[in-house]
């Protein structure tokens, strides 16, 4: 399943992150280990959007924990499907 993960770094945590670039690299490395479909830093705020395709949220635990420890907040994780996958999921649910 695909997940879109929204990572927001608040201003206080952002100052700490900027003071210790190695911690930011550890977080990015944890997400890169999942071979993301996309990883997009935002240019107008301290935020990163990551798109991964993993079996379940458990597979993301290390990256989520590393992110939580660095940003002091849990990332927003949203399971998503493509337009091609959606009808199959409806059928599994007994709809359509």
pLDDT one-digit tens code per residue, 27-84:
999 999 999 999 999 999 899 999 999 988 889 999 999 999 999 899 999 999 888 8
Provide the pLDDT for residue 88.
Answer: 86
**Number of domains observed in the structure of the chain:** 1
Reply yes or no on whether the pLDDT at 96 is more than 90: no
Helix spans in 1-96 (H): 11-19, 21-32, 61-71, 86-92
Which CATH number characterizes residue 7's domain? 3.30.70.1060
Query: Residue 49 in contact with residue 6, Cβ under 8 Å?
Result: yes
pTM summary value = 0.84
Nearest to 41 by CA among 27, 55, 61, 53: 27
């Amino acid at each position: 399943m695909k997940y879109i993960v929204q990572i927001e770094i608040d201003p206080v945590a952002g100052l700490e992150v900027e003071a210790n670039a190695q911690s930011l690299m550890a977080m990015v490395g944890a997400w890169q280990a999942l071979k993301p479909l996309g990883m997009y830093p935002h240019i107008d705020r301290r935020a990163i959007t990551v798109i991964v395709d993993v079996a379940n949220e458990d597979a993301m635990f290390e990256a989520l924990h590393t992110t939580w420890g660095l940003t002091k907040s849990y990332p927003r994780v949203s399971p998503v499907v493509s337009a091609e996958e959606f009808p199959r999921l409806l059928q599994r649910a007994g709809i359509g």
